[in-house]
Amino acid sequence: MRVLGVDPGLTRCGVGVVEGVAGRPLTMIGVGVVRTPADAEIGHRLVAIEQGIEQWLDEYRPEFVAVERVFSQHNVRTVMGTAQASAVAMLCASRRGLPVALHTPSEVKAAVTGSGRADKAQVGAMVTRLLRLDAPPKPADAADALALAICHIWRAPALNRLQQAHAAHRQAQLSVRKVTR
């Protein structure tokens, strides 16, 4: 499985591609940051993020895209920018028919470090260790993108089983309704 992780942000949007399957060593395929100038118009920044993500999708051809789920912060302006960058990433993936998964920051931290309250340094250290890198990716947004991809690879099998069970349950409920009518 090849996953593009996206840590959304207007100024720095972390991107990272990881390949592998749960229970086996994972491989980093690429890591970087899509940057936009803080003083540019919002529309131009979003277009730059779109173009950057499209380049990553073209070059690395992931099968899945994992995006950090936007959560409420104290700074509404920051949340809005993060949500807008997140929407661009989801749009780019969906346009290509790629499945998109959203993972909360605490899910990602728990998956890679064992603690949902880990700090950025701990996440970077574990990403470095899990992917057998010489040093943590810089800036932290890049390491966070890799952590998102790792989280998705490890959680996808369980999520797929849950989705299948939910779909089967829904189908069974529909069948019961037809019989009782």
pLDDT of 34-75, one tens digit each?
A: 999 999 999 999 999 999 999 999 999 999 999 999 877 677
Contacts of 138 (CB under 8 A, 6+ apart): none
- Structural domains for the chain: 2-180 (3.30.420.10)
The answer to whether the annotation marks 68 as part of a ligand binding site is yes
Q: Kindly report, residue by residue over 74-125, the tens digit of the pLDDT.
A: 778 788 999 999 999 999 999 999 999 999 999 999 999 999 999 999 999 9
Helix H or strand E segment including 72: none
- Return the active site residues: 7, 68, 141
Single pTM value for the model = 0.88
- Judged against a pLDDT cut of 90, whether residue 172 lies above it is answered with no
Distances (CA, A) of 125 to 3, 129, 132, 134: 20, 6, 10, 10
Q: Kindly report, residue by residue over 7-28, the tens digit of the pLDDT.
A: 999 999 999 999 999 999 999 9
User: Residue 161: which pLDDT band, with cuts at 50, 70 and 90?
Assistant: low
Q: Kindly report, residue by residue over 138-159, the tens digit of the pLDDT.
A: 999 999 999 999 999 999 866 6
Structure token pair of residue 11: 């100024």
Structure token pair of residue 19: 């390949």
Structure token pair of residue 112: 């890679």
The answer to whether the annotation marks 141 as part of a ligand binding site is yes
